Structure 1
Amino acid sequence: MIKAIIVDDELSAIKSLQWEIETFCKGIEICESFTDPIEAISAINYIKPDCVFLDIEMPEMDGFQLLQNLTFRNFDLIITTAFDNYAIKAFKESAIDYLLKPIDSDDLIKSVSKIKVNKDKNVLGNELKMVLKNFMANANQSRIALPLAGKTLFVSPEDIFYCKADGNYCEIYFTNGAKEMLSKKIKEVETIINNNTFFRVHNSYLVNTNYIKEFVKSDGQYLVLENGITVPVSRSKKDELLGFLSH
């Protein structure tokens, strides 16, 4: 019997997938399901399932972050998502299967068959290790996932002008004039972006250095970005910033 765990922030999606599995897939048992990714991490590490059905687009913690926080990774991974985008293509290239919502029963049967084959060959987790390696290697070159309220926004780092802290939230300003609010502190956003063109010039500001037009030393020292916005530079960051820009 194959032990499986379902992780999806939508309870209705979990119930639908569980019904599909119980109806069409023999030999697989859903031992747990979670809408909370933090609880899912603990359960996966403890239960050590043969398979995890994982939704990528979750508001509090996306699927990529969940995978990176696991200590147990020796399982087959099947992505469930409503979006056929770059991330899904990366998984496909690494032989990780995925199911597009609404899930088709024939596709589900084929995915479960792959799990059974992998288990028989004792190769569980090999593809997962590969995709995590590929994802981390390309993190600075591909789009990033910004968790917003009820959705995940996939953007390229070059589309971001700067980020501004607002208490426990962070405002993201884009080159097209749009603005989004994340329910994360700027330090967390800095970790998510993880791109070597960004620099924390102030406790409240994270700037894409590609869009710096001027550095003004008078009047408290500040940056002028290409869109005309001024951003303060803290005294403690001045020398480090100038060194960063000179390389």
Structure 2
Amino acid sequence: MIRAIIIDDEFNAINNLKWEIENFCDDIEICDTFTNPKNAISAINYLKPDCVFLDIEMPEMDGFQLLSQLDYRDFDLIITTAYDNYAIKAFKEHAIDYLLKPIDSEDLTETISRVRKNKNDNILGDEVKKIIDSISKQNQPKRLALSLVGKTKYVNMVDILYCKSDGNYTDIYLKNGDKEMLAKNLKEFEASTSSDFFRVHNSYLVNINYIKEFVKSDGGYIVLENGTHIPVSRSKKTELLEVLNS
């Protein structure tokens, strides 16, 4: 018997999946179901299921955040989602199966057959361990080596509030209030940053995680968490709002 846990923030989705399992997969025992991902973490660690059906898009904590907090990882992961996007495809490449909602009974039985084979081959959980390791590496702060006058300073990207062009140089403003001057122009420095940074203006590159407000008056500007006002180019407004609202 394969012991399973279902995690989804929608009761209807859980009930629909339970019906599919009960009618098409007679060797699956549903140990428990959860709409609260935080409660599910303790249950997985305690119940040690053979497989977990996990929704990705959930409030407070998404499915990938849940995975990163687990102690017990020796199970097959089946992602259930309504979104067939690039992120899901990337995880599928790591041999983690997913079911697109509304779940089709034929897709479900094919997925369960893979879980069954993994259990028989004693390789349960290998894919989950790989993807959790991948998540952990992705979540590590990226460090930048800043070549300054007479020294090299290493900073985490998460500690950079914004950068300002100064001709052939770039002024870097840090969360702790420090300011460093880099011997690169802003365009060169921008190429080394992550997707958390957005060029809001020809002279400004901003860490979007620290944007507190977008003000439409006075030509449009943003306010950072430390109170700094930074202008937004007219050509960048629409794209910036799309990024902030995504």
Specify if TM > 0.5: yes
* Residues 1:74 and 2:59 are matched in the alignment: no
**CA distances 1:163-199 after superposition (whole Å, capped 9, x unpaired):** xxxxxxxxxxxxxxxxxxxxxxxxxxxxxxx964853
Paired position in structure 2 for 1:42 = 42
CA distance 1:29–1:195, shift in 2 (3 Å): farther
RMSD (Å) for aligned C-alpha atoms: 3.2
Decide which structure has the larger Cα Rg and report it: 2
Paired position in structure 2 for 1:153 = none
Q: Give the unaligned 5+ runs of structure 1.
A: 141-193, 216-225, 235-247
CA distance 1:214–1:55, shift in 2 (3 Å): closer
* Residues 1:6 and 2:6 are matched in the alignment: yes
* Residues 1:133 and 2:126 are matched in the alignment: no
What is the CA-CA distance between 1:87 and the residue it aligns to?
Answer: 1.7
Paired position in structure 2 for 1:18 = 18
Paired residue type of 2:110: K
8 Å contact kept, 1:56–1:81: yes
Residue aligned with 2:15, SS: helix
Paired position in structure 1 for 2:222 = 229
Paired position in structure 2 for 1:220 = none
Q: Give the unaligned 5+ runs of structure 2.
A: 141-155, 162-173, 178-195, 206-218, 228-246
What is the CA-CA distance between 1:233 and the residue it aligns to?
Answer: 4.2
Paired position in structure 2 for 1:110 = 110
Aligned counterparts of 1:228 and 1:201: Cα–Cα separation in 2: 20
Aligned positions, number:
170
Aligned counterparts of 2:160 and 2:76: Cα–Cα separation in 1: 35
8 Å contact kept, 2:68–2:135: no
Paired position in structure 2 for 1:149 = none
Paired position in structure 1 for 2:124 = 124
Aligned counterparts of 1:195 and 1:53: Cα–Cα separation in 2: 34
Aligned counterparts of 2:135 and 2:220: Cα–Cα separation in 1: 32
Aligned counterparts of 1:105 and 1:198: Cα–Cα separation in 2: 49
CA distance 1:11–1:53, shift in 2 (3 Å): same
What is the CA-CA distance between 1:134 and the residue it aligns to?
Answer: 2.9
Aligned counterparts of 2:223 and 2:134: Cα–Cα separation in 1: 37
TM-score when scaled to structure 2? Answer: 0.61
TM-score when scaled to structure 1? Answer: 0.61
Q: Which has the higher contact order (CA 8 A, sep 6+)?
A: 1
Paired position in structure 1 for 2:92 = 92
- Percent of aligned positions that are identical: 56
Residue aligned with 2:3, SS: strand
CA distance 1:210–1:136, shift in 2 (3 Å): farther
What is the CA-CA distance between 1:135 and the residue it aligns to?
Answer: 3.5
